[in-house]
Amino acid sequence: MALDAFISYLSLEKNYSVHTISAYRKDLESFRAFCNDKFDSVSIDNIEYVVVRNWIVDLVNSGISNRSINRKVASLKAYYKFLQRIGELQANPLAKHKALKTTKKIEVPFSEKEMELVLRQISFNDDFEGIRDKLIIELLYTSGIRRAELINLKTQNVNLVGGTLKVLGKRNKERLVPLLPSTKELFQEYFTERKSLDDIIDDDYVFLTQSGNKVYETLVYRIINGYFSKVSSKVKKSPHILRHTFATHLLNKGADLNSVKELLGHSSLASTQVYTHNSIAELKKAHTSAHPRSKK
């Protein structure tokens, strides 16, 4: 079956994560369900563009954002490209499709003051969960790793002597991330407390729940949102905002863009440059306050 072959291709050749592959499969199955419902068509392997247009209209009418619709259509386009590659399709019905317009997302990082309030003034419980939560916040802020990278971090990849983490990023790309002394201290405290758990099920993984299972996405989100809600009025308080904060604060302090790119695990500078708008704001402020002509 072509869909199964496509999923294998994404996994084995493209090295996509389980989460990304699952999203592709859901998008394609959603389109198949639409075709079966509206057009009595079982196969999606040879569809005219008008059918896709009807699907897009249906998605718009259902209230789904343009950004989400574009992602779903991109999954379908990739599938048809794959069918062309293996000789199952002559022409991609989405070859001339233009993505829907989207508003640019503005992600506001936490300020240095907000980070200080959380890490120095909030009282974390002096138990396993309290120490774990503080380490999660500290690590996301001082290393810039992604939520998925934190969840899947393994104990064997934490080198406290050398002060580094070996992180498995997107497309199974490994990188070394340095640890700050404060983060190393929290790791040591956490590992000591971790040993006191009654039953450890996912022993290979660093971050665990009280029941010994590997932490999961919604838990990490709740931890970040919960603590930062105490000090910040920002609408979005998520693990990704901490990654954004990490990059912004480094750039504000004069870090080289290429170095930040490597720390974040980006494959191109273009991905890193989205974090520079806050740095430009800081530079403008410094320029205005320091330049002799600014007073004239």
Residues noted as catalytic? 146, 170, 240, 243, 266, 275
* Distances in whole angstroms, Cα of residue 202 to Cα of each of 152, 155, 208, 219, 283: 11, 11, 7, 16, 46
- pLDDT number for residue 119: 93
Domain ranges of the chain: 2-85, 112-287
Edge-first strand order for the sheet with 164-168 is: 158-159, 164-168, 174-178
- pLDDT number for residue 282: 54
d(C-alpha 7, C-alpha 175), whole Å: 26
Q: 224 — phi, psi (to 5°)? A: -65, -50
- For 217-275, how does the pLDDT look when each residue is reduced to its tens digit (9 = 90+)? 999 999 999 999 999 988 889 999 999 999 999 988 888 888 888 899 888 877 777 76
* Distances in whole angstroms, Cα of residue 167 to Cα of each of 16, 54, 56, 173: 16, 42, 38, 8
Fold of 2-85: DNA polymerase; domain 1 (1.10.150)
pTM: 0.68
Most confident of 100-109, 184-193, 267-276: 184-193
- pLDDT number for residue 45: 85
Q: 24 — phi, psi (to 5°)? A: -60, -45
Give me the mean pLDDT over the 37-45 stretch: 77
- Of 89, 110, 35, nearest to 278 by C-alpha is 110
Q: Select from 1.10.443.10, 3.100.10.20, 1.10.150.20, 3.40.50.300 the CATH code of 112-287.
A: 1.10.443.10
Q: Which of 28-42, 194-208, 218-232, 271-285 is least confident? A: 271-285
- pLDDT number for residue 295: 55
- pLDDT number for residue 279: 56
**pLDDT at residue 188 tops 80:** yes
**pLDDT at residue 107 tops 50:** yes
pLDDT band at residue 287 under the 50/70/90 scheme: very low
> Are 2-85 and 112-287 the same fold in CATH?
no
- pLDDT number for residue 291: 43
**pLDDT at residue 293 tops 70:** no
Q: Which of 46-55, 90-99, 125-134, 284-293 is least confident? A: 284-293
- pLDDT number for residue 254: 85
